[in-house]
Amino acid sequence: MSSPQIPVHKGLEDIYVKESKICYIDGERSKLFYRGYDIDDLVKYSTFEEVSYLLLYGKLPNRKELNEFQKSIRDSYTLNPEVIKLLEIFRRDTHPMDLLRTCISYLSTFDDSPKDQSLEKNLSRVIKIIGSIPTILGTFDRIRRGKKPIEPNPKLNLASHFLYLLRGKEPKERDAKIMDTALILHAEHEMNASTFACTVTASTKSDIYSSITSGIGTLKGPLHGGANEEALRMFLEIGSIDKVKPYLDELFVKGKKVMGFGHRIYKNYDPRYRILKEIAKEMSKERGNHKLFEIALKVEEEVLKRLEKYNIYPNVDFYSGLVFYFLNIPIDFFTCVFTMGRVVGWSAHIIEYWMDNRLIRPKALYKGELNLPYKPIEQRE
């Protein structure tokens, strides 16, 4: 069968699926903007809660609005007892992303008015999900280590609260600030794979829980959110600077990817990478753990040499895993931390798309045969 000459955009590269006021990426100049605000300024002057309000409501909050928003999130730290029971059922070796995907879906069963799809109600659902994720993760980590879960602390902001649940004590201000910065950097990134997955589900007029669950399933993949976990495991596996070159030689011979490198949008350095690299450098000094950072630097140097003609650079995942590792976050939680931030961006895009909804239904260019004669099963070899 001959097919018409129709271009197929594999990976939907450079295909626009909607107009948006949420995020702008200047891939040529390595710039990232949330609602028009430069990510560098937001990291320097803002907080994750304030950035979350900006992404969801379209403007920076005043003091009263921020206080009310923070209170709503902190009121959501406490989980329904049935969710705690569910966490106790999971196998202890369950990957936290699988657990998180299931728990977010389960939250929908406690919705008191599922048919109410008003903007106000959906925003309240989003806030509930944002506040629940740290507690879900912190509680499971305690359970799987044979420890009693800790009661949520509504006096702490979300970043501090997450570390508190993992550690059993309030984090130092420095650690809390680093965690907050990481959440800001992961909060939004335009129409990436997981955001698109959320948008596709939302376009069917499904609910916010289903849409976010789609995003979690997509983010889990090692070519997306899972790359931070894989990058850190690579540094640990290499073990020392002198083993970097032979490790990469073998990797390149086998044609495997170097996790934490390359990005579909950025034609230069990822601006989030620059911020996280500096944080990782400072933390390696503070923690007295120079080896891993030096391995990462050497890997970066070697890969840049080998990929120089391709203009492939490190992305957000290359150093984010190292930062999380220095914060003593379990390695299998890294992608969940990504989720903790990104759920805000997902929700903003879902709500924005609903304002002018159209069912997403692309096409596949058929290349198979037609009009084949049907044979009964007795006549088939």
Sheet holding 23-26, edge to edge: 23-26, 31-34, 37-38
Among candidate residues 189, 263, 270, 349, the one labeled active-site is: 263
The verdict on whether 95 is a catalytic residue reads no
d(CA 335, CA 341): 10
The verdict on whether 317 is a catalytic residue reads yes
- In the chain, % helix, strand, coil (3-state, to 5) comes to 60, 5, 35
Is 379 a residue whose pLDDT tops 70? yes
Ordered by where they begin, the domains of the chain are 20-220+330-354 (1.10.580.10), 227-326 (1.10.230.10)
**Who contacts 260 (Cβ-Cβ below 8 Å, separation ≥6)?**
227, 228, 230, 231, 234, 314, 315, 317, 318, 319, 321
The type of residue at 25 is I
Among candidate residues 175, 207, 270, 317, the one labeled active-site is: 317
**Who contacts 378 (Cβ-Cβ below 8 Å, separation ≥6)?**
none
The pLDDT tens digits for 290-333 are 899 999 999 999 999 988 778 888 899 999 999 999 999 999 99
The pLDDT tens digits for 332-343 are 999 999 999 999
Q: What is the mean pLDDT of residues 48-55?
A: 98
d(CA 321, CA 307): 22
The pLDDT tens digits for 66-102 are 999 999 999 999 999 999 999 999 999 999 999 999 9
